[in-house]
């Protein structure tokens, strides 16, 4: 094989592998990662860097993009400070999955959850509020911890 073809083939292979390598890199800052691994050692990790623990199994099919979901939740910073919550089951938080109405991490998590399921979810900053944060409640580059309970899924 000519060196030109070998270089081209190498570029194609590296280019194809780059997205997979990017998806696997650690997205939590070192201090947050250490805290998360000590506090929730059994948490599973998605390819996008979200960690989760299923605390109560749900039933049926997971939510799909376009579904209207209703849930209760408590959102905390990594230090435990609550920054937001909706805990009244009679007045849950409702949104349509995959429409960009919530942080990207929530859209991703909802696609894995079933009705009745409760999860503890740790979302890296880049899938939440990123470098801007949401002042004054959420600082920039904040790792967020949510307790989510998916009450209902209404199919589109």
pLDDT of residue 13: 47
Selecting from 3.10.50.40, 3.30.390.10, 3.40.50.170, 3.30.465.10, what CATH number does the domain 27-154 have?
3.10.50.40
Is 151 part of the annotated catalytic residue set? no
Is 52 part of the annotated catalytic residue set? no
Is 83 part of the annotated catalytic residue set? yes
> Which band of pLDDT confidence, cut at 50, 70 and 90, is reported for residue 4?
low
Distance, CA of 65 to CA of 90 (rounded, Å): 24
The structural domains of the chain, with segments of one domain joined by +, span: 27-154
Is 129 part of the annotated catalytic residue set? yes
Q: Spot the catalytic one: 32, 72, 129, 138.
A: 129
Distance, CA of 126 to CA of 143 (rounded, Å): 9
pLDDT at residue 24 tops 70 = no
Distance, CA of 150 to CA of 71 (rounded, Å): 4
pTM (2 d.p.): 0.83
pLDDT of residue 156: 73
Distance, CA of 127 to CA of 36 (rounded, Å): 17
Note the pLDDT tens digit of each residue in 45-91. 999 999 999 999 999 999 999 999 999 999 999 999 999 999 999 99
Instruction: Give me the residue label for tokens 């937001």.
Output: 84
Is 73 part of the annotated catalytic residue set? yes
């Amino acid at each position: 094989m000519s060196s030109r073809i070998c270089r081209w083939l190498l570029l194609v292979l590296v280019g194809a592998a780059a997205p997979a390598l990017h998806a696997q890199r650690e997205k939590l800052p070192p201090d947050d990662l250490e805290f998360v691994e000590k506090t929730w050692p059994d948490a599973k990790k998605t390819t996008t860097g979200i960690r989760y623990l299923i605390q109560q199994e749900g039933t049926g099919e997971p939510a799909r993009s376009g579904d209207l979901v209703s849930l209760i939740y408590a959102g905390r910073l990594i230090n435990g400070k609550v920054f937001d919550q909706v805990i009244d089951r009679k007045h849950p938080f409702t949104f349509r999955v995959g429409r960009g109405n919530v942080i990207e991490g929530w859209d991703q998590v909802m696609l894995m959850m079933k009705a009745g399921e409760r999860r503890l979810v740790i979302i890296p900053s880049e899938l939440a509020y990123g470098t801007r944060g949401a002042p004054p409640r959420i600082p920039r580059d904040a790792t967020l911890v949510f307790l989510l309970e998916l009450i209902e899924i209404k199919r589109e």
